[in-house]
Amino acid sequence: MAPDTIHVVEDSGADGHVEPTFDEVTEALAEHLWRNGAVPPGIAGAIAREHGWTGRLMEVLAVLTEDPARMGYLAGGLRPEEVATWLAPWADSALTVEQIRSIVDCAGWDPDPFVAVARAGLLGRLLYTADGERRRVKGELAGAWLSDEFALSEDDEILREVRALIEADG
């Protein structure tokens, strides 16, 4: 699947639930705003129930819209178009929803550098220390560090740096 496309399933089964398109989700976000024009946190569940939507887009939307702080740092704002900006790249990534949740919990904002790390089986060790604490690198959470430093890097460079970081930590 191309990185800029969304896989759409028209009907997910006998229960009649449908996986929405990216445009449908974006329109639904615009219909559910607070008075100040912001998307309310936790809106994915309400939209899913209202429209009977299921699937990856809705699952990823739920992660990305869990709280205003998360929406703000991931999208740079709380408006529907800002929130939708990062929905497609995260939903189109090869990362599982739980991996996405872990990455954004550790302040990652760009999915691209994390795909190689996850494929190499290093994601958990990058994001968390041996005692289960969120890892910090150069004063910032590991997710932010990887997004900031390696968003445009090649996989081999990303993996070399991540392995060095993990090995240095023992």
How confident is the prediction for the chain on average, in pLDDT?
A: 88
Measured CA to CA, the distance from residue 108 to residue 12 in angstroms comes to 30
Q: Are 80 and 26 in contact (CB under 8 A)?
A: yes
Select, from the ranges 13-22, 24-33, 72-81, 152-161, the one with the highest average predicted confidence (pLDDT): 152-161
Q: Is 2 left (phi over 0), alpha (psi -120 to 50) or beta?
A: beta
- Quick one: how many helices (H) and strands (E) in the chain? 10, 2
pLDDT of the residue at 84: 86
Predicted model pTM = 0.85
- How many C-beta atoms surround the C-beta of residue 64 within 10 A? 22
pLDDT, tens digit, for every residue of 127-148?
999 999 999 999 999 999 999 9
